[in-house]
Amino acid sequence: MFDRIGHFVFRNRKAILASYIVFVVAAGAIGFGVFKNTKSQGYDNPNSESAKVEILLKDEFKVRENSVVFIVDTPTAITDPATEKIVTEIANEVATQPNVDQVATYWSAGKQESMVSTDGKATVISIYFDQGIDSEAAASTAGDLQEKFDGQRSGATIYVAGLQTVYFSINNQIKEDLVIAEAIAIPLNIILLFIIFGTAIAAGLPMIVALGSVFGSFLTLYLISQVTDISVFSLNLITGLGLGLGIDYALLIVNRFREELHAGRSVEESVSKTISTAGRTVFFSGIAVMLVLSSMVLFPQYFLKSFAYAGVSVVFFAILSSIFALPAVLALLGKNVDKWKVRSSALVTKEDGGWAWIARKVMQRPLIFILGAVAILTFFAAPAANVKFGQVDDRVLPADAPVAIAGEVSRVRFDGQASSPIEIVIPKASASDEQVENIASQIAKYENVVSVLTPKTFTKHGQTMPLPMAIPEQSTSDYSRISVVLVDGPRQTESVETVKDIRDMDLPEGRLIGGASAIYVDSQAGISDHLPAVITWLSIATLLVLFMYTGSILLPIKAVLLNLASLAATLGLVTYVFQEGNLMWLVGDFTVTGTIDTSTLVLVAVVAFGLSMDYELFMLSRIKEEHDNGASTQDAVSFGLQRSGRIISAAAILIALVFITFVTSGVTSIKMLGLGTAFAIMLDATIVRAILVPALMRIAGKWNWWAPKPLAKFHSRFGITD
């Protein structure tokens, strides 16, 4: 099949290239619209119990979440009439701004205690946008309010906070960071490409694949964003993975094309042979990576689903570009691919060299090298024993970002838990008013509970307050509502345990537990509950693809185990840096929260796993090719590593460089994605591919290629062959 594709590409090279150029231009023109459609949320589980509570609070109790919050720090106490005048004037001005529907102050909201700081010298203004406003307009309005009001005004200091302000700030920061990362990565990669490819012509070829994969993915995500939510973070994966795979696949294709030309074949024969060997490897390697990245669609959060859409589309277009567009260009270039030499030695593929020497040395003493490699992996993995998982908030931004400063002021000076209670809704058909009050009184006895509100009572520190402090009765609702204010923040261990304790209570049928703490619990559970399915999918996909490619039982199992070992080491490094706050001199300053963002860690693990599969197939393709030609396992491994080691190491350096530039980002999650992925790539290309793979294959010997007779027969009939 691939041989026929090769001849087809050669015969239609001009038409294929022209069609490709038209596609890239059109995809770019339309696809860049995705930047306006992305969101910075997506960590919550939309199928959870807490999500149902959010809907009920909005529909049944008309609860509205404020879009933006102003913290007004005044020179005098909140009881001073001058303070009320300043705050009211600011609120009145805010009310006239576009898209602002309602504004609530301490005085207009009935003097709620939660709206005043603990020192009594600051208060909040809650701002509600027009109902039905779309996410783009909401974020833009939050940005306008921040620009206009953040800072000094009328003798007071205004800090602009709130979810929409956080989302706007993250979106803007990522867009700015993307430009900086690309401004660093692209020039450095161009220099390295000249060195690695050896000629000016060949050095530009990876961009053919990169442009197709990046612009094609932008178009795909733009179309998907018309029907579902897309995370802004996924754009970083598109640019990083698109450029990285462009380099990876172009290295493989161009290197093989040169080999065939230098062996004396014609241009058409070289194109055909390249596609039937390197193109075949790219195809099945890409399929394996697509299967790995697609696993993230199993998670309920659209943050992770977005990366599945982005990753699969990047790889898909990288495959098409590598098998059709790039060979079409090579067919037109012919021997001119070696024109304008920069480094002559890069043009010659050595039959024997450094990588073969490394393979032979490793295979002479495999056990010693295995023990050394395991010791290195264990060293890096050790900090993972203390890992603590969490989620992002405003602290994911630089500490000097206005919204991060506002968030810190809120945490330090306000009893913020009053604005993030546990919400309990109980069907009235299941519980009388008296039963609801009994439930509230039981919950009020919990150690971590400050106050409990019901439609009838308000209990604070065990003392029942007058009825005016209770939740307003909703006569039209079919539910009773209980609000529970906690001592600790919604993500603290004590708050999480309180949510679990309330859910374990013997409550009436149909009860639902929500609120900020429950949302956090359900989001974390959404990942942990689906993780077994994701791991199963990854394992089966890896085992199946590698078996179909090699016909071996042992090699796929080895690949999965080595990938897991590499990921453990990566998790350890990420924990050491981002949870414990080390190596800031390398990755730049960030706010240490004592936790690792669960969603970003899953992303790093899946992307690293996918790229490991890429390199596994790059290496095994050459080893298997030699073994199928009659070479012994040792000779096949040393020759295969010699031919693929240079490509793998060069590709790893280049793609790691792309991702490591992400540490220049001001968003901690992007820093983590960059460092984690770059480290995993380099670890895989060195410790795993250069040491563990040759050592383990040496020990296994002929068993590397063994399979039970039924499976061997199945592979001979349905296995991956040209």
Apex 226 CA angle, 291 and 214, nearest 5:
50
- The mean pLDDT value for 173-201 works out to 80
**Pair 363, 322 in one domain:** yes
Joined tokens for residue 593: 């929260």
Are the beta carbons of 550 and 721 closer than 8 angstroms?
no
Q: How many domains does the chain have?
A: 3
Maximum Cα interatomic distance, the chain, rounded to a whole number of Å: 95
- The mean pLDDT value for 650-666 works out to 84
Answer yes or no: is 400 within a domain: no
Asked if the model's pLDDT at residue 574 lies above 90, the reply is: yes
Are the beta carbons of 328 and 661 closer than 8 angstroms?
no
Answer yes or no: is 48 within a domain: no
Answer yes or no: is 442 within a domain: yes
CATH number at residue 9: 1.20.1640.10
Are the beta carbons of 607 and 234 closer than 8 angstroms?
no
Output the CA torsion sign for 583, 587, 592, 594.
negative
**Pair 288, 175 in one domain:** yes
**Pair 563, 708 in one domain:** yes
Are the beta carbons of 106 and 123 closer than 8 angstroms?
yes
**Pair 260, 213 in one domain:** yes
- The mean pLDDT value for 479-505 works out to 83
- The mean pLDDT value for 555-578 works out to 90
Q: Could you list the residue range(s) of the whole structural domain that residue 458 is in?
A: 411-521
The side-by-side arrangement of strands in the sheet containing 449-453 is: 463-465, 458-460, 449-453, 479-486, 422-427, 512-515
Which of 236-245, 467-476, 491-500 is predicted with the least confidence, judged by mean pLDDT? 467-476
Q: Packing angle between helix 49-59 and helix 516-550, nearest 10 degrees?
A: 140
**Residue 468: pLDDT band by 50, 70, 90 thresholds?**
very low
Instruction: Specify the DSSP class assigned to residue 470.
Output: S
Write the pLDDT tens digit of every residue in 193-228. 787 777 778 788 888 888 999 999 999 999 998 888
Using CA atoms, how far apart are residues 9 and 17, in angstroms rounded to an integer? Answer: 10
C-alpha distance from residue 535 to each of 291, 297, 389, 523, 528 (Å): 12, 13, 18, 18, 11
Asked if the model's pLDDT at residue 471 lies above 60, the reply is: no
Answer yes or no: is 635 within a domain: yes
Q: What is the dihedral of CA 679, 684, 687, 691, to 10 degrees?
A: -170
Query: Of 470 and 274, which is predicted with more confidence?
Result: 274
Query: Of 487 and 25, which is predicted with more confidence?
Result: 25
**Residue 347: pLDDT band by 50, 70, 90 thresholds?**
very low
Answer yes or no: is 481 within a domain: yes
Using CA atoms, how far apart are residues 667 and 529, in angstroms rounded to an integer? Answer: 27
**Pair 219, 331 in one domain:** yes
**Pair 206, 343 in one domain:** yes
C-alpha distance from residue 511 to each of 479, 496, 520 (Å): 9, 18, 19
Q: Which helix (H) or strand (E) holds 128?
A: strand 122-129
Asked if the model's pLDDT at residue 166 lies above 70, the reply is: yes
CATH number at residue 133: 3.30.70.1320
**Pair 17, 88 in one domain:** no
Are the beta carbons of 516 and 421 closer than 8 angstroms?
yes
Cβ burial of 622 (10 Å; 0-12, 13-18, 19+) is buried
- Mean of pLDDT over the chain: 83
Domain end marker among 490, 521, 552:
521
Which of 45-59, 305-319, 370-384 is predicted with the least confidence, judged by mean pLDDT? 45-59
Backbone torsions φ then ψ of 684, nearest 5 degrees: -65, -40
Percent of the chain whose predicted confidence (pLDDT) is above 90: 12
Answer yes or no: is 516 within a domain: yes
Joined tokens for residue 684: 């895989």
- The mean pLDDT value for 486-510 works out to 83
- The mean pLDDT value for 155-177 works out to 84
pLDDT at res. 276? 86
- The mean pLDDT value for 33-53 works out to 82
Joined tokens for residue 693: 């793979």
Domain end marker among 521, 555, 590:
521
- The mean pLDDT value for 101-114 works out to 81
Cβ burial of 14 (10 Å; 0-12, 13-18, 19+) is exposed
Select, from the ranges 434-443, 646-655, 699-708, the one with the highest average predicted confidence (pLDDT).
434-443
**Pair 483, 619 in one domain:** no
pLDDT at res. 691? 87
Q: Are strands 389-390 and 596-597 parallel, antiparallel or unpaired?
A: parallel
**Pair 363, 434 in one domain:** no
Domain end marker among 117, 138, 161:
161
C-alpha distance from residue 97 to each of 35, 107, 109, 141 (Å): 25, 21, 20, 9
CATH number at residue 421: 3.30.70
- The mean pLDDT value for 512-521 works out to 87
**Pair 123, 28 in one domain:** no
pLDDT at res. 221? 92
**Pair 512, 435 in one domain:** yes
